Homo-oligomer: A and B are copies of this chain.
Amino acid sequence: METSSEKKKIPHMTITRLAQYLNCLSLLPREHYKEISSKELAAKIGLKPTVIRQDFHHFGGFGQAGYRYKVPNLIDGLERILGLDQKQNVIIVGVGHLGQALANYRNFEKLGLRLVGLFDINPRLIGITIRDVRVRDIDEIPGVVERDNVAIGIITTPAEAAQSTANLLAHAGVKGIWNFSPVNVAGPAGVIIQNEHLSVGMMTLSYMLKQSHPPEAQG
C-alpha cells in the first residue's frame, strides 16, 4: 500500500534489477516454476536474496511472509511497475545492420512494443519490407508519429545523424528515445532519452580481463 501522493525515490539500480528479474522470470518454463523464492531467483542472477527482497520492498512487496513468490503474480507486478502492460508503438530510424537486427528482434512483443515504422534516408533501402513493415523516408516521420501515436523512437543511425534524428523525433512528438548510436544525444525536457552504448560493455569487459589476466607477470 503506497500513499497516492507520495513519490518515494526508487534507486536507479533497483529499476535495472527489476528489469533483470522480469527478464529472468519470463524465460523460465512455466510448468516448473509456479513459485520461486528470493533465494532461487538470486542464485540465477548472481545476487544475494536480500537485494531482491529490498528491491521489492520499495513497492510494498510481492508476496506474503512464509509463502514463496507466485511467479505469474511476480511477472504481472513487475510488468506493471515497468510500464510494460501498456502497449506502445515504436519506430526505428536507421535501417542499417543494427536497425534490421532490432526490427527482427522477437522479444519486442514481450516488451509491449509494436513496430509501426522503419525509416532511412538511403533510397536503396526505402521501399523494402522487414517483418511486414515498409521502409519509408525520414520526412514521413512526423506524420506517422502523430497518426499512429508513436511513443518511442529508436535511433540506429550513424553518429553524425544521431542528434538531428533525435531533434526530429522529439519535435514530432515522441515521448521517449532509445539511442543506439555511439554518441550521446540530448533532447528537450519532457522527452526521456536512453543512450545505449555497446562499446561501454565491451570496455568494462576489457578492464575486467586485464584485472584477472594481467598482461605480464608483474609482482
Contact = CB atoms under 8 A, between A and B. Distances in A.
B207 A81 contact: yes
Interface stretch (A49-57, A60-68, A97-105): A97-105
B45 A184 contact: yes
A123 interface: no
B206 A82 contact: yes
A20 B197 CA distance: 8
Interface size class of chain A, counting residues whose CB lies under 8 Å from the partner chain: 35 or more
A101 B96 CA distance: 8
B183 A27 contact: yes
Nearest to A13: B13
A218 B80 CA distance: 13
25 contacts: A4-B219, A15-B204, A19-B199, A20-B200, A24-B183, A24-B184, A27-B182, A44-B184, A45-B184, A82-B203, A83-B215, A84-B203, A97-B100, A97-B101, A101-B101, A105-B198, A107-B198, A110-B199, A112-B206, A175-B209, A175-B212, A178-B201, A178-B205, A194-B204, A194-B208
Given A19-B207, A175-B212, 8 more contacts: A5-B218, A15-B204, A16-B204, A82-B204, A97-B101, A100-B101, A178-B202, A194-B205
The 9 closest A-B pairs by CB, nearest first: A83-B210, A19-B203, A97-B101, A194-B205, A19-B200, A83-B206, A98-B101, A101-B101, A192-B208
